Amino acid sequence: MNYRFVHNNFNVFDLEKSLKFYEEALGLKISKSKEAEDGSYKIVYLTDGQSAHLLELTWLRDWKHPYQLGDNEFHLALETDDYEKSHQKHKEMGCICYENPAMGIYFISDPDDYWIEIVPKR
């Protein structure tokens, strides 16, 4: 029996704000989406256009407050082929939430405060 990663899910409070962030910050594009007939939820899958792995954003109509992420000890990681340019862009966007220069990595946070690790291509 074999398994492969398909997607990760983040529940988001403001879907349009999140879609704009992921496209601007990371160049992710909508791969596919679906919406409940009664409008109670929307699910949007984002792709990097290179790997098979998707980021699923789920919006729930009846959710009335921002998500509480606890200690936020989980994250996604994306590799960039231009670390310095990426760092500058995210610095200008004001979304860098943690840096570890000794490891050569940094993290950005999305509108719901999910963390995304940015690593250089090695």
Helix (H), strand (E), coil (C) string for 85-113: HHHHHHHHHCCEEEEECCCCEEEEECCCC
Query: Which pLDDT belongs to residue 116?
Result: 96
Q: Which domains does the chain show, CATH number per domain?
A: 7-62+74-120 (3.10.180.10)
pTM of the full predicted structure? 0.91
Q: Would the CA dihedral through 81, 99, 11, 14 be positive or negative?
A: negative
Query: Which pLDDT belongs to residue 72?
Result: 66
In the predicted model, residues of the chain with pLDDT beneath 70 are 72
Per-residue b or e along 64-86, where b marks 16 or more CB atoms closer than 10 Å to that residue's CB: eeeeeeeeeeeeeebebeebeeb
Query: Which pLDDT belongs to residue 1?
Result: 79
